[in-house]
Structure 1
């Protein structure tokens, strides 16, 4: 059978949008984006909510690189009409996504992470050894024009000896920041270290307040070197090559993990020193690009690799050295757990697909049952095919279950800088089968009870 071209695949997907999705928005970007993250929910209304969205803009140098704070209107479940979500223009901006504020960033924004204790505070990685901390609400709005002065970070985290471009995480339990870089090290900071010193310095000021995770600095327009800076609480060595991703344990702020170009998965415990607690020497057959820790069950860890696979590990079965023994291997190389269900996660790769998996379905799968093709990989229950080139980043929305933002580098297909999509699959796809069947039975009884004309 002839394999479908990208255009044919996309055309078929577009025809199925009214069936597959409860809501969908397509936004053509001016510049490519390397990272997209949900911010805080700002407003709830009857039919939709308004939420912050954080994006990066990677420009060609004619204008500065920026960190963008946007307002996103999210239509609530079972509100949008099928014909409405299918009518979108790939070459246009979406009316649901509106730029709220622009920060002129010193260098490219490679990674964005929000602070769980205060999601108005974000950290960014750029092409330097430092991590930059921003209070996005306090930062002034800037015009990204050629020659514009760089915005002034509220805090700089120092400690890397070489560029740290991608590995970045925030702790869900404490205001801790974790980073990895080309110096093969993992570095840990506490934002409290800055708050404590700032509070002490301003204790005599009647206007001082400890309500923010970061004390705002002066307004934008100054060099980033003028920003306050703090050093790390710990520097951890054990990788033999660049650290590509890091993640905190969701149940213990002192435990975290990292992956890198040395194919290693390392678990760390800050209470036990700066060496690895467990080091899996060969977690994959190639460089590791990402790691994510299950927010519902801290025994399970996902890793994604350049070998185009996602592997699931149970840390109770990990031993140092040798080859890792994953519970299961899935297709894709970038993965993130769903905040709503412990067994569900998403994965993305350079083929343009964003796959949604349920590892509980791997062992329960029955061949030939349901609407999925019998040759689909075990555990795969949804495939988002709206991007026409590699999916660069995606993020589950913790405030709106099953709503995902994803961004792709498909400049050649869109006539713009790439594509940002916000989507929520039809709930008939992920709800328990018995629940769906019961609802269909109720609907059938309702139809039969209606008087015929």
Structure 2
């Protein structure tokens, strides 16, 4: 079962204007329980024999679990033509993911569609996937460490036109061959990012400390075999600048973050020691392009101002999670909001614009705490805690549906829309 926590001290977000007239996305909140409930803290509390966790349905505008046959370590959301920014239920989303099957030869790349996402439905997780359509592409070339690119246009078009429903684990296999393959990487890699500024431009990194630049040509890619080199250990993640076509960032198991300019050679323009352990993930804020977030193997995550990178660039540092950070991503609709997942089986949402309010603290202690035995030491920036997934691996905000997050874990996917994350139009930092 899932236990979710809305920060009771910060249920109302400061300086945020809700969407006027959009009542369809918010369901009525049930009355407060008669007895005092206890909020379970992972890593602090332990379940007694016979106890089980329950989640509060009022914490979500929508919550659902689904799978595509095998667990997926990584996935991406496919942009669609249903609307650039949409807040009206029902919703439809498209995604693409690579499986982690029991046997390597069973792995495939799957394209999935989830439709009829209604704010009135609050089923328990996991539930049946009667609203999941899934198409998949097989890739059995497991022993090859090279990077490949596929064209799934026809499969996506077929999926978009289909309203057929599949049972969990059912695969409609429609094999496709890669349109391009690069064999320049000498070791496996986990770092990859498409440029948001130049269509088709790509960077890829590997465990051999090398980063390669892919430039699109008329019908293929040209990959420079001369790599970008500067890290002393595996390249863990890559992020293009949201505004500058030739600038990207990397993080490494050597604990550092580097900034590169493709016009200025194959060495980093600047580097900094970001964490004392491996830097697993980074996220470049697309609404406030001076901000970059990083998550570490020791469970900490940090925010830095790139305008101050040659000095003290640290803006915030959080030690809430106690296990490695597996994913971090800024909201595409709120410049101060980001989501984090960790190996401690938690997905947390944070708003850096919030500060501790003594008046609110007093009100909380006098009212809310009588109904819910909630922790008193929550960070004021912590908006939401989502639990219930095992071994969380990656999360993404939906770029076209404000307030929606999709996450993948060892036991499948979750779609969540917390009720205290307002569905607002995009806002950039001042």
TM-score in terms of structure 1 length: 0.70
**Aligned in 2, Cα 1:27/1:348: closer, same or farther, shift over 3 Å?**
same
Higher helix share: 1
Contact conserved, 1:34 with 1:57, CA < 8 A, in 2?
yes
Q: Give unpaired runs (5+ residues) of structure 1.
A: 109-126, 199-213, 215-228, 410-417, 433-453
Aligned to 2:190: 166
Specify the alignment match of 1:115 in structure 2: none
Match of 1:310 among 283, 296, 301: 301
SS in 2 for 1:34: strand
- Superposed, which structure 2 residues align to 1:313-392 within 5 Å? 313-319=304-310, 325-330=313-318, 331-332=320-321, 333=325, 334-362=327-355, 367-368=361-362, 373-387=375-389, 389-392=390-393
CA shift, 1:377, in A, is 2.0
Q: Rate the CA distance shift 1:4–1:30 in 2: closer, same or farther, 3 A.
A: farther
- Distance in 2 (alpha carbons) for counterparts of 1:256 and 1:379: 28
The answer to whether the 8 Å contact 1:13/1:386 transfers is no
Paired residues in the alignment total: 353
Deviation per CA, 1:417-452, whole angstroms, max 9, x where unpaired?
Answer: x121111111x45479xxxxxxxxxxxxxxxxxxxx
Q: Which residue of the partner structure matches residue 408 of structure 1?
A: 409
SS at match of 1:253: coil
Partner Cα separation in structure 2 for residue 329 and residue 355 of structure 1: 15
Q: What does 1:14-413 correspond to in 2, within 5 Å?
A: 14=55, 16=56, 18-41=57-80, 43=82, 47-61=89-103, 64-73=106-115, 75=117, 80-81=119-120, 84-85=121-122, 87-88=123-124, 90=126, 92-99=127-134, 101-107=135-141, 128-138=144-154, 151-160=176-185, 162-174=186-198, 175-191=200-216, 193=217, 195=218, 198=219, 230-232=222-224, 235-280=227-272, 282-319=273-310, 325-330=313-318, 331-332=320-321, 333=325, 334-362=327-355, 367-368=361-362, 373-387=375-389, 389-409=390-410
**CA–CA distance in structure 1, aligned partners of residues 125 and 285 of structure 2:** 36
Aligned to 1:435: none
40-49 or 377-386: bigger deviation:
40-49
* 1:178 shift after superposition: 0.9
Name the structure, 1 or 2, with higher relative contact order (CA <8 Å, separation 6+).
2
Alpha-carbon offset, residue 294 of structure 1:
0.3
The alignment partner of 2:286 has SS state of coil
Instruction: Provide the C-alpha distance between the structure 2 equivalents of 1:429 and 1:400, rounded to a whole number of angstroms.
Output: 12
What is the SS of the residue equivalent to 1:327? strand
Closer, same or farther: CA 62–397 of 1 in aligned 2, 3 Å: closer
Deviation, structure 1 residue 128: 4.2
CA distance in 2 between counterparts of 1:309 and 1:376 reads 15
Give CA-to-partner distance per residue, 1:161-219, whole Å, 9 cap, x none.
Answer: x224210111101121011112212211112x2x2xx4xxxxxxxxxxxxxxx6xxxxx
TM-score by length of 2: 0.73
After TM superposition, give the deviation of residue 4 of structure 1 in Å.
3.2
Larger Rg belongs to? 1
Distance in 1, Cα, partners of 2:404 & 2:355: 23
> Closer, same or farther in 2 for the Cα pair 1:32/1:431, shift >3 Å?
closer
Q: Aligned pair 1:5/2:39, yes or no?
A: no
Q: CA deviation at 1:149?
A: 11
Structure 1 position 39, deviation (Å):
0.9
Secondary structure class of the residue paired with 1:138: helix
**2: distance between equivalents of 1:7 and 1:136?**
49
Task: Report the CA distance shift for 1:269/1:360 in structure 2 as closer, same or farther (over 3 A).
Answer: same
Is 1:158–1:231's contact at 8 Å kept on the other side of the alignment?
no
Q: What does the per-residue CA deviation read over 1:54-80, in whole Å, with 9 as the maximum and x for residues that have no partner?
A: 1222111285201110111153xxx53
Is the 2:194–2:203 Cα contact (8 Å) retained in structure 1? yes
Cα RMSD for the two superposed structures = 3.3
1:273–1:89 distance in 2 versus 1, CA, 3 Å: closer
